[in-house]
Chain A
């Protein structure tokens, strides 16, 4: 019996159209737009100005606070301007525009294919290299990795869990990375284990990626402390709390941090970025992006420089289909609908999904029939139907009592609802309200 998390969950059609496609290197854009807010936390602060010349891997912006991350140039060329640009959030936020000239890299970066296995750095040195490289959680949450590797006083890491679940339908970026960069990933995992002083790591992979499981299992024979754990396919297994529950059978307490279970969860793409940063001196300025959709001619996985407009990726994947109705940054369950195709690829862009017009339109909603299907699928054990009702009637005390703030916004409730009720839309808004109330009460 394969493991999985124990409460709720759904199994949407996987639609992994770009699975088993080799990673293609996308062209360098003519102009890169590099937003200063590509992570959770304070925006980075630019250290370059208009007219400066930069190389691939030059520092563009320093971390703007404790929870923040550095940003590096993904191209070589001249800074055109620092101005607002619409990013994946749909808002205009400051970004650095770079006019690309050639492709000149910083000398310090090791561009060879040689795999470097040895590492004699201490835990502190590894974490500072990770912070220096501007690495953030690449699964989509974009929480600065060095912060996560520094557990608050009183908590102790016991195990590193690598999230290679990729439970979102359509996305195959992590899958393709595991197939092509397996050894590097395992080295990255070893570095993460060293960084937090633990000697056990588990890579959780859903069973629909049998080739990746077999490949990593074979490589892992040389890494006795790393276990490859196949998991039953179930969404949202990539949720941090769900993955911890699936792998070590411990539930993070309501309001608690994941580290309270002794687990540190990192995305598999992050592990690869850690390898490149620590062993190859390469800061984070490119990532794997899946470009996909049922109407897309050639769904693919690309190695993309951050700052590349997504329109360019869609173009190489066969162009925008005639009946495109929605462009999503990320997967169909938790991704964000983009306002235009000019948005640049950021650190957190795991995929670009094009939905047809028919797929984009929501069906009209009906009254709740209390079928309780949302209750059955909620991975947090909440009652989404009631939480929506409390939000509609602004009963914040009841919403809080029923743990609306524990919602992880996975969308399983809305996905399942036979009455087409937009449960998550309401719960998200109610959650924001209740969290505000809780914060104000504390201060």
Chain B
């Protein structure tokens, strides 16, 4: 016995937290949004999510095993999470072959080309989505019409399509918008995971409770968009929609709660998180109100991801006994 004692520096105990616990925690937080997407988009939502997850995990496995010659880490849950988040950013009638390309862009370019989890600069799911948005603009911007009377529809690529709230707003057709209740519960067109603000907020509450994320990034993004679009609405209510519509529609909630809070690509300090969140909020609003794209969330996150290393090196935590 005497010779078999372990000797190592302190601390001698560990809290038991792990990467996979956090990843699966986020996945659990996404369940309400997934259920809502099944309710409104039915079969299409299931096929898109399943194939996105499948291809993300597959590409991660293949790249790690054969290109990087490392032990695959597909069980840590991060590839599954990228798959789900990518799917949530896609229309539920997107063909599988396009999803496969998106997954390859997300995992291959967004994640593995930098060295895998922890080393990537950009959020992989957003990388995949932007890749698809630029490559397949038509397919990526026609969303199935949601019909509250038709639950769990059994349609996929054959679904009837229509415009989203944001594209209506971009065309200044403010009179055709759904009601606030419909927007809040998710009864509107859009990418499959972004429609229900209610479901996303439930996920947010879960992640706050489990201490997976802090409030700083989501709240600063949402507040910035609300204030900025609110000012524009006051200036010209004819042209610019109310701030409430802006925070209830598009990918804002999904992006603010689940995409912008990605550990690897967001700042580490509270102050840095607020700067990052305000930056995303400002960019999103600028793109939505003045850009040609109706939706600005993914571009805003993508651009602020690029600034994260800079924020990390200039914004330091509050130092004990410092000024």
Contacts and interface: CB of A to CB of B under 8 A. Distances in A.
Q: Which of A357, A361, A383 has the most CB of B within 10 A?
A: A383
B22 A418 contact: yes
Contacts of A417: 14, 17
Given A338-B5, A366-B118, A370-B263, A411 B11 contact: yes
A332 B316 contact: no
Contact of B14 (A251, A337, A362, A369): A362
Interface residues of A, number: 71
Contacts of B75: none
Contacts of B292: none
Contacts of A338: 5, 7
Contacts of B119: 367
A45 B158 CA distance: 91
A14 B319 CA distance: 27
Contacts, number: 160
B268 A340 contact: no
Interface string B7-43: 1111111110111011000000000000000000000
A406 interface: yes
A378 B316 CA distance: 13
B317 interface: yes
A162 to B, nearest CB: 22
A372 interface: yes
B317 A375 contact: yes
A265 to B, nearest CB: 15
Interface stretch (A35-43, A204-212, A323-331, A430-438): A323-331
Contacts of B161: none
A359 B13 contact: yes
A332 B6 contact: no
B269 interface: yes
A333 B269 contact: no
B15 A416 contact: yes
Contacts of A151: none
Q: Which of B15, B118, B266 has the most CB of A within 10 A?
A: B15
A335 B317 CA distance: 28
Interface of B: 1-2, 4-15, 17-19, 21-22, 73, 76, 115-119, 214, 263-264, 266-269, 312, 316-322
Given A338-B7, A369-B19, 12 more contacts: A332-B10, A333-B11, A333-B13, A335-B12, A339-B7, A355-B12, A367-B117, A370-B268, A381-B320, A383-B269, A415-B11, A418-B18
